[in-house]
Each structure stands twice: as structure tokens, then as C-alpha cells.
């Protein structure tokens, strides 16, 4: 079976710029993960309320809505690689806020860095998608999906993994110094990749004209489904992901940080492993398979529902969170592949930015409601109510869209 992992290895052998890009974002993600450990670890040690912990998660998403708009505009005016280099350098300078927050016990300063990182993520996402579309052949797009999966997962897999081992053993300011080094190295590697990318990016271009009408009105049902997969995942996943630190507080109030940080690590390990096992040649069929998508989302929710049973057994909790996010990131991989596969180069940045914005809005709304419910009724009650509601809503949405999207896929496969 030609899995996404093997597809990525083949593309890395063929494209030197992709190797530099991969190393750059792995290092950058390591730094971002360390920042997350510092923020959540300090807030848990300062005994922040469940509402505050949920708001931190919400602030890590909401500014990226504006960032995606800026990223889409910048993609029309400059090279996507320049945009990515700009975001890495900006991320380096943003570390002044957590430094101030740690030195002065200032919670708002920790929240500010969450906002800045979200803004930069929104700017970079359309640029990264456009970069893959320009630099990779059509048959290499599954490799881009695998690369995005690794970038998405390594933030917590590497950063949180290192952070969990070092948090409490060395001062948080030293962790921020490692973070700064990662941003610096990432920016240098992206600059090195520019020379190799420029020679390949113009070898082929698509001539599809840019339509002046609204993108949503102009695209096919299959393309609309591709855009909506990530927001659907956000609707189901954001309540549980936002509540994870608060759930750790309720399960083990005497050592919430000691439980929450390993759970965050297990979360990202699952995010990495799930998608890489998919058959690269069948991604298009998987993306319109409602049973597969709903099974993954149901496994995600079911694992979180069983989390209270692991109160006295840490390893059971780790297995549950690993399984949950292995399933959820299969949906993530299919959503990112759909945008790369089903949109031409002239529309892919706009489509990815649109998907990102709807995803952010969906996650923000569901997280806000979840935060209020957790404050008044408890984290587990909020989890059960919001997760079940969102799963039913997504199931209805997928069922309504299935027939037209499946017909479009069958036509594509015959071509």
C-alpha cells in the first residue's frame, strides 16, 4: 500500500526545497510547542479557572481569522516563501511577551503571545498551501498532505514532548531561549530553500482564469465539501480540545499539570500517526466516504467520553487521547488534500484561506459556548452536550452533500 508516509519520502528525495522547508517547520513547531507548554503549565500552576484555560485555547485561534485574510492578500502580491520567512521572524520577536509575563506574573502577556501566534498561523496557511501547489506535481499532492500533517502534529509532538520532560526541571526562561533558537534556525532554512524552489516553481503553471464572482458561488459541490471538512472537524473537535486542561483539573486536581501535559503529548502523537497510514492512492474516495468520516469523529468523541474512567490509570488516559486524535487527524488530512487536489493554482490560496476562516469561526463559537457551560456546569457536562450536538450536526451536513460530491469524484476518476 502506498501510504502518505511513502509518498512524502518520495517527494523529499525529488525536491531539495521541500527538505529545507520540512526541517524549518519541524524546528519552528518545536518552538511553538514549547511556548504552549510554558503557557498552559504556568496557568495550571497559577490555578487558572476552567474558563481562563478555555479562553487561552480560543485566543490561539480567533486572531488567525484576520491573519488568513492578510495571508490571502499577500499571496497575490509576493512570494509565499517570503511570507513564511516573515512569519518566522515575527514569531521570534513575539517571544518578548511570554518573557514579560513570566517575570511579572502577568497572565494577559501570556494571552498576547497566543494571539500573535494565531495571527501568524493564519497568515502562513494560505502561503504554505500555495507553495505546495506551485512546487509539487499533481501526483505528488499526497506528499503535501503528509507534510502538513507532520507540521501540524510536530508542534506538540516535539515541542510538548521536550517541554513535558524539561518543564519543572529547568527555568521557563531557558525553554523560551530554545524557542528563540528554533525560530531563528527555521527562518535561515526557509531562506536557503528559496534558491532551490525558484527554479522549480515556474516549470508549470495552470491557466485557469481567476473568476471575479464569489468563490463560493463559482465552485462545485465537491469543492464546497473540501472547504467544509476542516470546519466540520473544528465543530466536533474544538470543545474536547479546549477542555482538555480543564478535564485534567477535574480528574486529578492535586496534580493537573502532571496529567495535562502528557495528555497533550499523546494528543499530538495520535495526530501524527493516523493520517500517515492512509493509502495515498485512495484519498479522494476516502474524502467522500461518510461512514469513514463519521466513524473517525465518533471514535474521537467516544474516547473523550471515556476519559473520566481513567482517573486512577494515567496510561489508559494516554491511550484514549492518542486514539481520539489519530482518528480526528484522518479527517484533517482528507480536508487538506481535498483543497490541494480539487482547486487550481489560481484559487487554492483563496480556498484554503476561506476554509481556515470558517474553521476558526466554527471553533470560536463552539469553544465560547463550551467555556460558558464549563464554568457553570463543569467540564464533563459541557463536553458531553457540545460534542453530541456537533456530531449530529456534522452528520446531517455530510449526508446532504454526499450524493453530488460522490458523482463528481466518479467523473474525476474516469478522466
pLDDT tens sequence across 79-100? 899 999 999 999 999 999 988 8
Q: What is the residue-averaged pLDDT of the chain?
A: 81
pLDDT at 204: 44
Nearest to 387 by CA among 404, 402, 374: 374
Q: Could you give the percent of the chain with pLDDT greater than 70?
A: 83
Does residue 363 register a pLDDT over 80?
Answer: yes
Grid coordinates representing 148 are 502538513
pLDDT at 210: 45
The model's confidence at residue 207, banded by pLDDT at 50, 70 and 90, is very low
pLDDT tens sequence across 151-183? 776 766 677 677 777 777 888 888 888 889 999
What are the residues whose beta carbons fall under 8 Å from the beta carbon of 392, sequence distance 6 or more? none
| CA–CA dist 260, 266 (Å, integer) | 10
Nearest to 119 by CA among 72, 62, 53, 35: 62
Going by the DSSP 8-state scheme, the letter that residue 209 receives in this structure is P
pLDDT at 252: 67
pLDDT at 27: 87
| CA–CA dist 371, 51 (Å, integer) | 5
Does residue 321 register a pLDDT over 90?
Answer: no
| CA–CA dist 13, 191 (Å, integer) | 20
pLDDT tens sequence across 227-273? 989 999 989 988 887 777 667 666 666 665 566 667 777 877 888 88
**pTM, 2 dp:** 0.81
pLDDT at 189: 93
pLDDT at 158: 73
Distances in Å between the Cα of 6 and the Cα atoms of 97, 127, 320 are: 40, 25, 27
Question: 251 and 259 in contact (C-beta within 8 Å)?
Answer: yes
pLDDT at 29: 80
Q: Where are the beta strands (DSSP E) in 159-258?
A: none
Does residue 414 register a pLDDT over 80?
Answer: no
Rounded average pLDDT over 392-405 = 76
| CA–CA dist 29, 415 (Å, integer) | 39
pLDDT at 1: 54
Stretch among 194-198, 342-346, 359-363 having the lowest mean pLDDT: 194-198
pLDDT tens sequence across 15-66? 999 999 988 988 888 887 788 778 877 777 777 666 666 677 677 778 888 9
pLDDT at 312: 62
As separate numbers, helices (DSSP H) first and strands (DSSP E) second, the chain gives 18, 0
pLDDT at 84: 93
Q: Where are the beta strands (DSSP E) in 267-375?
A: none
Question: 97 and 116 in contact (C-beta within 8 Å)?
Answer: yes
What is the C-alpha radius of gyration for the chain, rounded to an integer number of angstroms?
Answer: 20
pLDDT at 90: 93
Q: Could you give the percent of the chain with pLDDT greater than 90?
A: 17
SS3 279: strand
User: What are residue 3's DSSP bridge partners?
Assistant: 279
Stretch among 33-42, 131-140, 352-361 having the lowest mean pLDDT: 33-42
- DSSP letters, 12-69, are HHH-HHHHHHHHHHHHHHHHHHHHHHHHHHHHHHTT--HHHHHHHHHHTTTHHHHHHH
The model's confidence at residue 72, banded by pLDDT at 50, 70 and 90, is very high
Grid coordinates representing 34 are 514549547
Rounded average pLDDT over 113-118 = 86
The model's confidence at residue 209, banded by pLDDT at 50, 70 and 90, is very low
Rounded average pLDDT over 359-370 = 86
Question: Is CATH 1.20.1250.20 what the domain over 4-201+217-414 is classified as, yes or no?
Answer: yes
Nearest to 238 by CA among 328, 176, 323: 328
- Phi then psi dihedrals of residue 167, to 5 deg: -65, 125
pLDDT at 378: 78
pLDDT at 310: 67
Question: 339 and 129 in contact (C-beta within 8 Å)?
Answer: yes
Amino acid at each position: 500500500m502506498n501510504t502518505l508516509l511513502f509518498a512524502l519520502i518520495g517527494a523529499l528525495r525529488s525536491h531539495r526545497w521541500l527538505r529545507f522547508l520540512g526541517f524549518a517547520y519541524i524546528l519552528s513547531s518545536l518552538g511553538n510547542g514549547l511556548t504552549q507548554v510554558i503557557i498552559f503549565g504556568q496557568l495550571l500552576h497559577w490555578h487558572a479557572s476552567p474558563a481562563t484555560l478555555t479562553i487561552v485555547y480560543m485566543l490561539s485561534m480567533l486572531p488567525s481569522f484576520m491573519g488568513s485574510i492578510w495571508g490571502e492578500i499577500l499571496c497575490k502580491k509576493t512570494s509565499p516563501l517570503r511570507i513564511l520567512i516573515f512569519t518566522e521572524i515575527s514569531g521570534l520577536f513575539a517571544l518578548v511577551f511570554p518573557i514579560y509575563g513570566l517575570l511579572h506574573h502577568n497572565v494577559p502577556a501570556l494571552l498576547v503571545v497566543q494571539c500573535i501566534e494565531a495571527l501568524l498561523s493564519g497568515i502562513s496557511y494560505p502561503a504554505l498551501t500555495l507553495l505546495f501547489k506551485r512546487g509539487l506535481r499533481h501526483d505528488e499532492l499526497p506528499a503535501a498532505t503528509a507534510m502538513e500533517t507532520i507540521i501540524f502534529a510536530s508542534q506538540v509532538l516535539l515541542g510538548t514532548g521536550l517541554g513535558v520532560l524539561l518543564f519543572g526541571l529547568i527555568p521557563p526562561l531557558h525553554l523560551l531561549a530554545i524557542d528563540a533558537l528554533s525560530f531563528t534556525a527555521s527562518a535561515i532554512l526557509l531562506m536557503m530553500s528559496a534558491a532551490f524552489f525558484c527554479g522549480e516553481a515556474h516549470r508549470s503553471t495552470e491557466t485557469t482564469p481567476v473568476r471575479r464572482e464569489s468563490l463560493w458561488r463559482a465552485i462545485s459541490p465537491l469543492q464546497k465539501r473540501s472547504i467544509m471538512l476542516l470546519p466540520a472537524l473544528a465543530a466536533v473537535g474544538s470543545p474536547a480540545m479546549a477542555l482538555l486542561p480543564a478535564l485534567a483539573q477535574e480528574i486529578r486536581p492535586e496534580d493537573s499539570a502532571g496529567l495535562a501535559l502528557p495528555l497533550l503529548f499523546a494528543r499530538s502523537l495520535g495526530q501524527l500517526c493516523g493520517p500517515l497510514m492512509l493509502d495515498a492512492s485512495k484519498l479522494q474516495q476516502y474524502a467522500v466516504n461518510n461512514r469513514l468520516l463519521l466513524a473517525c469523529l465518533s471514535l474521537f468523541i467516544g474516547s473523550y467520553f471515556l476519559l473520566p474512567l481513567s482517573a486512577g490509570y494515567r496510561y489508559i488516559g494516554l491511550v484514549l487521547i492518542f486514539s481520539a486524535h489519530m482518528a480526528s487527524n484522518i479527517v484533517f488530512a482528507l480536508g487538506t488534500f481535498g483543497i490541494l487536489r480539487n482547486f487550481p493554482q489560481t484559487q487554492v490560496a483563496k480556498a484554503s484561506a476561506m476554509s481556515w476562516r470558517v474553521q476558526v469561526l466554527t471553533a470560536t463559537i463552539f469553544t465560547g459556548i463550551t467555556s460558558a457551560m464549563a464554568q457553570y456546569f463543569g467540564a464533563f457536562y459541557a463536553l458531553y452536550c457540545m460534542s453530541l450536538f456537533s456530531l449530529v450536526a456534522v452528520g446531517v451536513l455530510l449526508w446532504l452533500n454526499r450524493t453530488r460530491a460522490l458523482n463528481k469524484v466518479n467523473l474525476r476518476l474516469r478522466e
